[in-house]
Amino acid sequence: MKKKIFKIMGKVIKGTFDTILPNIEKSTKNTEFDPVTNKQVTKIDWVRLIASAITFIMLVLNLFGQIDIVTFIQNLINELSNSFLK
């Protein structure tokens, strides 16, 4: 179970860096050609892509002064530490 949580957290961190260091191609991968549908099949890492989108939205909101990133991260760390301590 812990291994799966760390794997998901790793994907979230990678998705965050996809937004900060524009590299969204890692979230989507072109796989082989599917002759049945006559299209290129694309595999999407949804956890990483959603984390990237959330990070982008937070950066835009911070730019316009709607949220404070430092306060948000402090509150997030406090909530996560409280949930893991229970």
Angle between helices 69-85 and 46-63 (to 10 degrees): 140
Sheet strands (E) in 9-68: 28-34, 39-44
Give the CA distances from residue 59 to residues 3, 15, 69, in Å, rounded to whole numbers and listed in that order. Answer: 29, 14, 8
User: Looking at residue 22, what is its pLDDT?
Assistant: 62
**How much is the average pLDDT of 35-60?**
82
For the stretch 3-20, pLDDT in tens is 888 888 888 887 777 766
**pTM score > 0.95 for this model?**
no
Structure-token pair, residue 19: 């937004």
Answer with the residue of higher pLDDT: 79 or 19: 79
Residue boundaries of the structural domains of the chain: 2-85
Looking at every residue in the chain, the average pLDDT score rounds to: 80
CB 35 within 8 A of CB 75: no
